[in-house]
Copies of this chain bind each other. A is one copy, B any other.
Amino acid sequence: MQFIDAINFSFPLLASTTDTADSSMVVAAVLLSLVVVYLASKVGGELSNRVGLPPVLGELVGGVIIGISVLHLLVFPEGGTDSSSSLIISFLQNTAGLSPQAADGVFRTQSEVISVLSELGVIILLFEIGLESNLKDLMAVGIQATIVAVVGVVAPFAAGTVGLMTLFGIGAVPAIFAGAALTATSIGITSKVLSELGRLNSKEGQIILGAAVIDDVLGIIVLAVVASLAKDGEVDVTKVIYLIISATTFLLGAILLGNVFNKTFVAIVDRLKTRGELVIPAFIFAFVMAYLAAVIQLEAILGAFAAGLVLEETDKRKELQKQVIPIADMLVPIFFVAVGAKTDLGVLNPAIPSNREGLVMASFLIVVAIIGKVITGLTVFGQPQINRLAIGVGMIPRGEVGLVFAGVGAASGALSKPLGAAIIMMVILTTFLAPPLLRFVFPETNTVATDSEQLILDGASAPSLTIETPQLLVSKLNDPSSLESGADSQDS
């Protein structure tokens, strides 16, 4: 499709031939990137699944292998990388006649497009998670989730900050930054693993999901506090109040308005007669919500999650879920592979002196990161049968959220290189450890079919949802007692 650029009718003399060539090369580069991303996600996901781990871990590792750490197939310019270190761009230069002068532009555009696609991927993921969740179930565990979230913010923050100051003699501001990075929880990774384990709708899953959402909002507030602290030496109280009010208004507003809107939505959808009559209105709603959430300085994914929750209340839920599955299958892997590809394992290399200093601090941060979240499970009250360990473990992965703190901290100049590297090591390890740990603390599926399992039974896209069944059967055969405890942990 080298045609598109020529479609404008205003005849930019000569400009259009170069535009045309570039545009065709951008599409070729994006197609090639998607092929590489999909190969990495499928090979990684399947291998991970074969050894009994959640597929998403394989997608992350697949991303690491094609990314900046190993093969350099998919790299991004934000890390200071230029087009000459992207193997995909070199490949295009050698096979498709991409000119060296055009390489930088094509590289930048291709990276931007893949980044936006990966962000659309996590927006669709959270929309799908919202569609699979139930607002009433989430509200029912609201207080427990809030306590888990607050403890999961306060405990690692306090332990991390105080520990760094006293044990390592770090200054207050950098220690606070590192402490803040410890507070994050990655909704994306946690919810995807829960969904893969078929545990999203268990009581544990709902508490984890609710707590992760609240944690995300708290994290945004904590980030605003520490960023203004690092910049001006004092806290921007106005901004903090603004964030608290806007976050609360948005989430409550979405839920209240949603109750009115979902009837309008069904009425509109029922009147539409052309293709996409369900999925397009749903995406208009989801993208408007995501846009609003992004604009009020919350996150786009929170808006998409809220939109999913609202539409879950409609009788279009089942049909919409089915239609969103292939779209999510296409876009979500781009997110996880891109997260992996952007992960530079170089910080883990002990041969580099600053890493060695960082490694000691990293070990401390990792211990705090794990213990500080695992103890949150102990705070859950009124649920005698609940798997407290699973809840704590579910809060462990810092994922992309933890990295924002590292990025903002580094940008503000508050973090030393070893401390910055230590934070990143902590984020990498908690992110990559959480999926197998979650798999371990949820050792068997529930016997009651969840929503997504129900889809297998009556859905068109059956095989795409049969996750881990062979391993689960094996683990059940090896450990017959797990069948009983399995029934216990699903008392929703």
A268 and chain B: residue at smallest CB distance: B42
Interface pair B19/A329, CB less than 8 Å apart: no
Out of B3, B19, B38, name the residue touching A403 (CB < 8 Å). Answer: B3
Out of B79, B281, B330, B400, name the residue touching A283 (CB < 8 Å). Answer: B330
Interface pair B299/A80, CB less than 8 Å apart: no
Q: Does A240 contact B (CB under 8 A)?
A: no
Q: How far is the CA of A301 from the CA of B3 in the complex (A)?
A: 11
12 additional contacts (CB under 8 A) given A3-B400, A27-B119 = A1-B299, A2-B294, A10-B80, A10-B344, A12-B80, A28-B294, A38-B284, A42-B274, A42-B280, A55-B274, A275-B325, A278-B461
Quick one: given A8-B68, A284-B39, A299-B1, are A272 and B46 in contact (CB under 8 Å)? yes
Interface pair B31/A290, CB less than 8 Å apart: yes
Interface pair A408/B464, CB less than 8 Å apart: no
Q: Chain A: residues with CB nearer than 8 A to chain B? A: 1-17, 19-20, 23-24, 26-28, 30-32, 34-35, 38-39, 41-42, 45-46, 49, 55, 68, 76, 78-80, 95-96, 109, 112-113, 115-116, 118-120, 122-123, 196, 272-281, 283-284, 287-288, 290-291, 294-295, 299-301, 319, 322-330, 333, 338-339, 342-344, 346-347, 400-401, 403-404, 406-408, 410-413, 417, 420, 424, 459-461, 463-470
Residues in B with CB closer than 8 Å to A30 are 116, 120
Interface pair B275/A464, CB less than 8 Å apart: yes
Quick one: given A45-B274, A323-B326, A330-B283, are A6 and B424 in contact (CB under 8 Å)? no
Query: Shortest beta-carbon distance, A108 to chain B, in Å?
Result: 9
The 6 closest A-B pairs by CB, nearest first: A6-B407, A276-B329, A8-B79, A323-B326, A11-B410, A9-B344
Query: Shortest beta-carbon distance, A272 to chain B, in Å?
Result: 6
**This chain's copy number in the assembly:** 2
Q: How far is the CA of A401 from the CA of B4 in the complex (A)?
A: 9
Q: How far is the CA of A78 from the CA of B299 in the complex (A)?
A: 31
Residues in B with CB closer than 8 Å to A26 are 112, 116
Residues in B with CB closer than 8 Å to A196 are 275
Out of B327, B329, B410, name the residue touching A280 (CB < 8 Å). Answer: B329
Query: Shortest beta-carbon distance, A121 to chain B, in Å?
Result: 10
Query: Shortest beta-carbon distance, A30 to chain B, in Å?
Result: 6
Query: Shortest beta-carbon distance, A357 to chain B, in Å?
Result: 15
